[in-house]
Structures are given as structure tokens and as C-alpha cells.
């Protein structure tokens, strides 16, 4: 291929999009493949964006985000966790994904090692790989108490060349949540070895044991080597708005400004105004979405959890389950045939890292009626096509 860097020319689109693209937007499909529900962003948030447009908020602003939004993020963090952070640590990239990308670009050079807790969202591996780093994974284990991985196991997977570690808790796709003691141990290791920890906390409000999952923001000092990535997509139903935030070391502020200038010169201005409204007035939205997801989770566990051909570790957080379908030989083929025969979209496991080809990811953020129908169709498909009975 001409004029494309050879390593980029070799990359493939992730398997979720690979399965979904041919039927994207088809209303006959029950979409359990992407990380979003079917609720449109609430009206008062949309109104706020419209008002900002009418007020002429259409110009360049500070590339690290409006100071009013950065302050609102600081206040939200204080309210949720009781932790006071300096607003200088906060930046607003044009999505959480861009936050991860900028952090990865800041930490890694060609030939470094980057460690990813796996199973993992495929875009993370790509974003690390684009830096030229070698991506190494450390896999969570399935136990009777759910998916587990200790800080010691993560540390043991580090090499002398590890310059960044990616931890997503609550985790897409497994729902694993890293406990506080493990966070402390891992952060201490990163301090000692000057490794940039990228803590992706976009599912922070989707923890079914407490109001929010344990966050690195509660234990990190001002200049610790940790970037906490978050955003508006999941908790406020704003996936299409493309606004994220990061809480980074205070001394990195200028670097975030420079990187932001060369990526997208900051996120969309009128969307930032809507995000202030979401933070200041959207707590009921967050809570009611979470309640819906809690019910979706229970529905999923009741429909898939007791099936003899399906091994399901109940997710502690996020809004996905990652069941193993015993005996399937290709998760991609399974997802494509399920789509063709039952009009249900799921994500194939292989795209979430090695050793996942017997798994699928099911998002349970959809409204409960359609979710229920989708789950019934998955079970029907498994019963009809699948050779688990002979195992």
C-alpha cells in the first residue's frame, strides 16, 4: 500500500465494527454490540447545546477545555469522591478515547513495552500499537467470584521496558472492578518505576455495589504518574457528543495543551457547554440509567447464567457480560450467524485479545424489553445450532 506506514497498513478494523458495519442502522437488528443504550441524551442537556449555539459559542476556545467545564469536573470529583484536585490537572479532550490516545503518545516511544489488562476493548491495543510500542497483555481469570486479577499479577507481567500500563475498571468487556488495595499497590509500583498508568474509568458510575467504583483519583498525589480518563458518553448517555476528560499530573498541563493542539484543538465548544449542564443538573439521569442497567444485568444473569452451554461470570460493573459459549470454534462466525438468523448483534470475543474466541460480549444497556427479546434469541440460537450438549 502506498504512502501508508507499513505497521498501520497491516492493522485491521476491530471485530465489533467488522460484524456490525453491514447492518449498521438496520431497525430490525437488536443491537447488543456497541457500548451504548437506546436512550437519546436528555432534553435539558440538548437544550443547553442549542442555547450555546444561539449564543454564538462557535469559536476556538482554550485547547484544554473551557475553564467553566474543567471547574465543573473538579467539583463533580469532589462531590462524588470527597477528593479535592487542582483544576490545573483537568483537561477536556474530544472524547475519552482521545484522552487515552494522547496519554499513550506522551508516554511511549517505539520499542517500549505497554501492558494492557485483558480482555480489553480493542481500540486500546490499537492506540498503544500506533505509538510503536510492543503491546503485552495480562489476562484476568474467571473464578467463582467473578473475573479477578491482582496487582501482583499485573506487576509480574511488567518488563524492564514497560513504560505504560492500561487498566480499565470497571472493565469493558468483563465487568471486573479493581479493588482499592490493588490500586494502591499498582500505583506504588508505577511511582517507583516511573511508568505512566492510564486508568480508564469511563464506567465509574456503573458499579453495582456502591455509588461509584474505587477511583485512582482518590489515592493519587498531584504529580503521580497516572492519567485518569473519563467522559460523558456512558454515564450521561452522550456517546455521540465526543467529549471526555482527564485528570493528569499537574506538571503535564502544558504537554496536554500542546498535544491537544495537534490532535483536534480541543473538543467542540457548544458540546462543552452541554457537558457543564450534564454535570451540574444530570445526577438524576446518571442514577436512573444505572438503575436500568442494574435491571438489565439481572435479566441477563437470569437468562444466560443457568444455561448449561454458557459459562457466565456475573459482571461487577460496566454494562457488559463476557460469557463463554462452550464448544464454539469461531466467535466471529457465531456473531455473524446469530445476526443473520436472529437479527441480534453481539461483539465477537476474539477482538478483545488472545484466548477469547469462545466468548462473546453482550451489552445490557438497551431498554429492558428489547434486551429481553435479544437475550431470548441468543439462547434460542445457542439451543438450535450449538454442540454444547455433546461436550
Ligand X SMILES: Cc1ncc(COP(=O)(O)O)c(C=O)c1O
**Does residue 368 contact residue 295 with C-beta atoms inside 8 Å?**
yes
| Beta carbon nearer to ligand X, 35 or 323 | 35
The residue (of 121 and 128) whose beta carbon lies closer to ligand X is 121
CA dihedral 154, 157, 163, 167 (to 10 degrees): -30
**Distance (Å, whole) CA 293 – CA 223:** 35
Sort residue 146 into left (φ over 0), alpha (ψ -120 to 50) or beta. Answer: left
By beta-carbon proximity to ligand X, the closer residue of 164 and 233 is: 233
In the bound complex, what is the minimum distance in angstroms from residue 56's beta carbon to ligand X? 27
Of 33 and 121, CB closest to ligand X = 121
Helix segments in the chain, DSSP class H? 6-9, 15-20, 43-54, 67-81, 96-107, 122-130, 151-156, 180-193, 253-263, 269-281, 283-304, 331-342, 368-385
Q: Please, what is the minimum distance in Å from the beta carbon of residue 320 to ligand X?
A: 8
Cell of 231: 467522559
Q: Which residue has the cell 456503573?
A: 206
Nearer to ligand X, 63 or 309 (CB): 63
Smallest gap from Cβ 241 to ligand X, in A, equals 8
In the complex, the smallest distance separating the C-beta of residue 200 from ligand X, rounded to whole angstroms, is 5
- Minimum CB distance to ligand X smaller for 203 or for 381: 203
Q: Which residue has the cell 448449561?
A: 308
Are the beta carbons of 240 and 90 closer than 8 angstroms? no
Q: Tell me the closest approach of the beta carbon of residue 160 to ligand X, in angstroms.
A: 28
Q: How far is the CB of 55 from ligand X (least distance, A)?
A: 25
User: Could you tell me the smallest distance in angstroms from the CB atom of residue 278 to ligand X?
Assistant: 13
Give the binding site for ligand X (CB under 6 A): 35, 95-97, 121, 168, 172, 200, 202, 231, 233, 239, 244
- CA 171/CA 40 separation, integer angstroms: 24
d(CA 321, CA 89): 33
- Residue closer to ligand X by CB (options 95, 183) is 95
- For residue 306, the minimal CB distance to ligand X (Å) is 28
| Cβ pair 246, 90 in contact under 8 A | yes
Compare residues 133 and 198 and give the one whose CB is closer to ligand X.
198
DSSP state of 21: G
| Cα 159 from Cα 252, distance rounded (Å) | 25
Residue 331: CB partners within 8 Å, gap ≥ 6?
15, 325, 348, 349, 350, 356, 357, 358, 359, 360
Amino acid at each position: 500500500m502506498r504512502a501508508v506506514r507499513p505497521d498501520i497498513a497491516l492493522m485491521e478494523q476491530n471485530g465489533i465494527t467488522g460484524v456490525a458495519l453491514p447492518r449498521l442502522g438496520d431497525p430490525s437488528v437488536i443491537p447488543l454490540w456497541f457500548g451504548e443504550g437506546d436512550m437519546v441524551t436528555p432534553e435539558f442537556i440538548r437544550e443547553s447545546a442549542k442555547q450555546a449555539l444561539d449564543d454564538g459559542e462557535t469559536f476556538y476556545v482554550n485547547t484544554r477545555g473551557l475553564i467553566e467545564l474543567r471547574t465543573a469536573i473538579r467539583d463533580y470529583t469532589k462531590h462524588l469522591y470527597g477528593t479535592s484536585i487542582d483544576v490545573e490537572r483537568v483537561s477536556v479532550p474530544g472524547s475519552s478515547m482521545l484522552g487515552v490516545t494522547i496519554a499513550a503518545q506522551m508516554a511511549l516511544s517505539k520499542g517500549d513495552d505497554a501492558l494492557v489488562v485483558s480482555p480489553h476493548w480493542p481500540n486500546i491495543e490499537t492506540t498503544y500499537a500506533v505509538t510503536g510500542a510492543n503491546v503485552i497483555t495480562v489476562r484476568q481469570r474467571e473464578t467463582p467470584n467473578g473475573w479477578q486479577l491482582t496487582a501482583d499479577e499485573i506487576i509480574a507481567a511488567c518488563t524492564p521496558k514497560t513504560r505504560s500500563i492500561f487498566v480499565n475498571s470497571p472493565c469493558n468487556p468483563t465487568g471486573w472492578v479493581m479493588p482499592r488495595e490493588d490500586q494502591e499497590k499498582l500505583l506504588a509500583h508505577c511511582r517507583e518505576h516511573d511508568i505512566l498508568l492510564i486508568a480508564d474509568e469511563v464506567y465509574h458510575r456503573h458499579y453495582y455495589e456502591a455509588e461509584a467504583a474505587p477511583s485512582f483519583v482518590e489515592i493519587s498525589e498531584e504529580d503521580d504518574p497516572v492519567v485518569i480518563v473519563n467522559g460523558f458518553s456512558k454515564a450521561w448517555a452522550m456517546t455521540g457528543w465526543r467529549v471526555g476528560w482527564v485528570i493528569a499530573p499537574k506538571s503535564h498541563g502544558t504537554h496536554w495543551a500542546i498535544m491537544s493542539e495537534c490532535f483536534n484543538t480541543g473538543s467542540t465548544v457548544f458540546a462543552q457547554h452541554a457537558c457543564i449542564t450534564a454535570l451540574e443538573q444530570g445526577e438524576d439521569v446518571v442514577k436512573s440509567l444505572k438503575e436500568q442497567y442494574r435491571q438489565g444485568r439481572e435479566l441477563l444473569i437470569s437468562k444466560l447464567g443457568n444455561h448449561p452451554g454458557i459459562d457466565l461470570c456475573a459482571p461487577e460493573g460496566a454494562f457488559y457480560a463476557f460469557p463463554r459459549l462452550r464448544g464454539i470454534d469461531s466467535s466471529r462466525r457465531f456473531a455473524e450467524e446469530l445476526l443473520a438468523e436472529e437479527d441480534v448483534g453481539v461483539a465477537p470475543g476474539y477482538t478483545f485479545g488472545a484466548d477469547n474466541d469462545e466468548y462473546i460480549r453482550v451489552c445490557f444497556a438497551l431498554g429492558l424489553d428489547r434486551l429481553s427479546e435479544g437475550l431470548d434469541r441468543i439462547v434460542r440460537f445457542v439451543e438450535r445450532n450449538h454442540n454444547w450438549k455433546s461436550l
